[in-house]
Amino acid sequence: MLTTMMEPQLLGWLSPLVISVVLVISVFAFYGLLVKTRRNSNKLDSTTSKIHHDRTVTSTVGSLNVNGGDTVSDVIVVGAGVAGSALAYTLGKDNRRVHVIERDLSEPDRIVGELLQPGGYLKLLELGIEDCVEEIDAQRVYGYALFKNGKRIRLAYPLEKFHTDVSGRSFHNGRFIQRMREKAASLPNVQLEQGTVVSLLEENGTIKGVRYKNKAGEESTAFAALTIVCDGCFSNLRRSLCNPQVDVPSCFVGLVLENCNLPYANHGHVVLADPSPILMYPISSTEVRCLVDVPGQKVPSIANGEMENYLKTVVAPQMPHEVYDSFIAAVNKGNIKSMPNRSMPASPYPTPGALLMGDAFNMRHPLTGGGMTVALSDIVVLRNLLRPLRDLSDGSSLCKYLESFYTLRKPVASTINTLANALYKVFCSSKDEARNEMREACFDYLSLGGMCTSGPVSLLSGLNPRPLTLVCHFFAVAVYGVIRLLIPFPSPKRMWLGAKLISGASGIIFPIIKAEGVRQMFFPATVPAYYRAPPVKGETKCS
């Protein structure tokens, strides 16, 4: 009772105090990481150079003849998913000759890539492709609802300052991609072709194009000044262009709930279940996507009925009562799919003539639905960098110039990546009492209202992707959890638990930030590539 009475009073002085404390902690922590990173920079540079030299080159050719019957374009885009299709249209609209090669042009059937945050919708507007969410029965999304142990809260997106059309959108992934492909193919200078890219073509360290098998199975080559690889999370080309460090923390098990009335219409729903979260959101006017997170890389077998039993006995009892019957009906129907959730920080090799984008380049846990927002934001950055250039033929100079892409994208991309990976760890249940206290504190912190709600939700929605804001709120949750433990009477056990909570919070977020790159994430203006000017002839070659 006393704790309940004191919490509103506590909030009045908690926010400025927490922000001040967090800023001090963050500055010292980041300084330490930055010093350590800089001490190792020379060693990393030499190692990267060696790796880049020794990496497996998918195809090396002596002298490429582009005057035969082979296709020659300004840009080759490998993959026509969300990133590839949007990129092809964007570059095509800027009068580039774009050749898109996609393994399968039929409508995809996926269980992720179905929720576009408001920040991602703003990027659609900026790219002029917002009509791709029309005529596919897409649903507007205005926020989230959180459920935990019988308690529930609604978290609205802070959309007050935006046009009424701005909101999240949820839809069938395949329908959205087909609309994007149609949009790209509508431009006369964009060629969309079905084919499987076998290898990159390299000459004297510069990527000149690709070798691929067309729809008829015939091997062909295509050449371009710039090849952009967007072939998704299962990319077979990324190893030539980056140092992939893929982590698979969990798998999603997906079902479609039909004629299901969610507790909060036009909202995403997150159930903080045991052992890990459950997501639900509408993907059409009659269907709701349900994603059950299963920790680890293996899921119960669907074929022998283990999965059905797991969903009915472990998951169903934790679902909101409003959706229980629809969930059981979906399980009985048997259309259950699964896929691994991958996380991979961006770690590119600057390669003349080539660039990585989308999930082939950078992934985060899909819990927050931030993947499409990152991809579309990256396309805006790249478009703005390429617009001043009419000639892309000097691969070495272009490579050096496009190093700025990796810096300019960082504040937005790394904020969304860090939030997704950190929030997943916080939302999972644990045998560690301190981790469970952090989970409880996060739920209660979001329930406080004011900036304690709007700040984290603005990060989640992609409307305010600022790294320092993320760190401040993350540690504000941790400090709030400690204060909850110490009120009304601190004890040695509670103080020790509070110390473990702070330590655990640091152990969650700092490794993620370090993998993203402290300097590029928080201090991009200190990176020389931040100021790169468009190349001119005679500029120094890229090493």
In this structure, is residue 29 part of a structural domain? no
For residue 352, say if its preceding peptide bond is cis, omega within 30 degrees of 0. no
**Does 332 lie in the same domain as 183?**
no
With beta carbons less than 8 A apart as the criterion, state whether 111 and 291 touch.
yes
**Does 240 lie in the same domain as 252?**
no
Q: What is the residue type of 199?
A: S
With beta carbons less than 8 A apart as the criterion, state whether 392 and 398 touch.
yes
**Host domain of residue 211:** 73-136+171-245+345-409
* DSSP per position, 511-526: HHHHHH-HHHHH-GGG
Residue 49, both tokens:
């150079």
pTM of the predicted model as reported, rounded to 2 decimal places: 0.87
Name 278's bridge partners: 271, 292
**Does 330 lie in the same domain as 317?**
yes
Residue 73, both tokens:
């374009």
**Does 439 lie in the same domain as 356?**
no
- Using pLDDT thresholds of 50, 70 and 90, give the confidence band for residue 59: very low
**Does 184 lie in the same domain as 91?**
yes
> What is the spatial distance between Cα 130 and Cα 456, in angstroms, rounded to a whole number?
26
**Does 235 lie in the same domain as 354?**
yes
pLDDT at residue 488, as a whole number? 85
- Using pLDDT thresholds of 50, 70 and 90, give the confidence band for residue 489: confident
Residues 6+ apart with CB under 8 A from 123: 373, 376, 377, 379, 380
**Does 324 lie in the same domain as 198?**
no
> What is the spatial distance between Cα 292 and Cα 428, in angstroms, rounded to a whole number?
12
Residues, the chain: 543
Measuring CA to CA, which residue among 474, 471, 478 is closest to residue 435? 478
Name 33's bridge partners: none
Strand 247-258 versus strand 115-116 pairing type: unpaired
- Using pLDDT thresholds of 50, 70 and 90, give the confidence band for residue 1: very low
What DSSP state is assigned to residue 130?
G
Q: What's the mean pLDDT in 155-184?
A: 96
Instruction: Quickly tell me which residue has 């791709």 as its tokens.
Output: 132
Q: Using DSSP, how many helices (H) and how many strands (E) does the chain show?
A: 15, 16
How far does Cα 499 stand from its chain's mean position? 31
CATH of the domain at 304: 3.30.70
Residue 319, both tokens:
């679902």
Residue 344, both tokens:
């991979």
- Bigger pLDDT: 49 vs 484: 484
In this structure, is residue 2 part of a structural domain? no
Model confidence pLDDT, tens digit, residues 351-382? 999 999 999 999 999 999 999 999 999 999 99
With beta carbons less than 8 A apart as the criterion, state whether 177 and 81 touch.
yes
Strand 151-156 versus strand 168-170 pairing type: unpaired
Strand 287-295 versus strand 247-258 pairing type: antiparallel
Domain boundary, last residue among 323, 343, 363: 343
Q: Which residues of 337-371 are buried (b: 16+ CB within 10 A; e: fewer)?
A: ebbbbbbbbbbbbbbbbbbbbbbbbbbbbbbbbbb
Domain boundary, last residue among 288, 311, 343: 343
pLDDT at residue 23, as a whole number? 46
In this structure, is residue 229 part of a structural domain? yes
Domain boundary, last residue among 291, 321, 343: 343
**Does 326 lie in the same domain as 387?**
no
**Does 233 lie in the same domain as 379?**
yes
Model confidence pLDDT, tens digit, residues 520-530? 999 999 998 88
In this structure, is residue 165 part of a structural domain? no
**Does 290 lie in the same domain as 213?**
no
Beta-carbon neighbour count of residue 4 at 10 Å? 7
> What is the spatial distance between Cα 184 and Cα 87, in angstroms, rounded to a whole number?
9
Residues 6+ apart with CB under 8 A from 8: none
**Does 224 lie in the same domain as 124?**
yes
With beta carbons less than 8 A apart as the criterion, state whether 251 and 230 touch.
no
In this structure, is residue 21 part of a structural domain? no
Model confidence pLDDT, tens digit, residues 123-167? 999 999 999 999 999 999 999 999 999 999 999 999 999 998 999
In this structure, is residue 538 part of a structural domain? no
In this structure, is residue 85 part of a structural domain? yes
In this structure, is residue 150 part of a structural domain? no
For residue 275, say if its preceding peptide bond is cis, omega within 30 degrees of 0. yes
- Using pLDDT thresholds of 50, 70 and 90, give the confidence band for residue 536: confident
**Does 360 lie in the same domain as 336?**
no
Q: Is 255 helix (H, G, I), strand (E, B) or coil?
A: strand
Domain count, the chain: 3
